[in-house]
Amino acid sequence: LGSSSDTHMLDQVYQTSANIYKKKGETAKIHCSHSILNYNSILWYKQLENRQLQFLGYVYYNNAYPEAGIDGDANPGRNCTLTTEKLELSSSAIYFCAASLHSARQCCANYEAYFGQGTKLTVLDPDRPVTPPKVKILQPSQQECRNQKEKQRKKTLVCVASGFYPDHVTVSWKINDEDYSSGVATDSAAQEIEGSYRITSRFKVNAALWENQENSFMCIVSFFDGETTTNHTATLHGVQG
């Protein structure tokens, strides 16, 4: 998120924590600060399930807009806090803060807003136990390489992580214990199915790598249960070409 490609400015908006776990009825606090010269407003948003942003309110200088739960100071180097009390399951979402410039002389001026990285708030369902993922790798299709030039031959491994709750996971790949990110495409979000979550990640590799029995391909799913992060893996070995 962010209305500019200026990554330097984006890096000057700080939001903590990245992940928050709470129980129903508890209170969550998300903190935001920035170091952008002259910027004097912090805006808060909640990302809805359709990925639209719901505006929650803002702080101008050190005076809060009337929306409840927002307080602090929006000047550079100061902290602003979004507080959500009496959490409901529907409070689970990704929350963003954004630094902007408010001008009393130019109330309608369109200034850039620079977003923080987001905070994922999960309100745990008391009826759903915390459950780590089951991980497996599906072998590439034997038909995948047909009708392609030899130098372009590829094979796609598919990693499936399923049965986990909540949905705080990241997926990575290794070949022979070496990290790989090129050729990896992972679902943007886990899919909820019958009370638990499922996510898939596709890893496209050169066919020559797959057609070597000495090569091992590992999918690592890192699962955060609210207190600790654990890794859950699956491994496949290449086949004879």
CATH superfamily, with its number, for domain 134-237: Immunoglobulins (2.60.40.10)
Q: What percent of the residues of the chain are helix, what percent strand, and what percent coil, each to the nearest 5? A: 5, 50, 45
Q: What is the pLDDT of residues 28-47, one digit of tens each?
A: 999 999 988 888 888 999 99
Q: What is the mean pLDDT of residues 175-201?
A: 96
- Separation between Cα atoms, residue 156 and residue 161, nearest integer Å: 16
More confident residue, 206 or 108: 206
Contacts of 7 (CB under 8 A, 6+ apart): none
Average confidence score pLDDT of the chain: 87
Residues in the chain: 241
- 7-124 shares its CATH topology with 134-237: yes
The domains of the chain are located at: 7-124, 134-237
DSSP letter (8 states) at residue 10: H
At 100, the amino acid letter reads S
Q: Does domain 7-124 have CATH number 2.60.40.10?
A: yes
Confidence of residue 50 (pLDDT cuts 50, 70, 90): confident
More confident residue, 7 or 87: 87
Closest CA to 60 of 122, 14, 107: 107
Q: What is the pLDDT of residues 125-179, one digit of tens each?
A: 999 999 999 999 999 988 776 545 555 689 999 999 999 999 999 999 999 999 9
On the question of pLDDT at 111 being above 60, the answer is: yes
Q: What is the mean pLDDT of residues 6-35?
A: 86
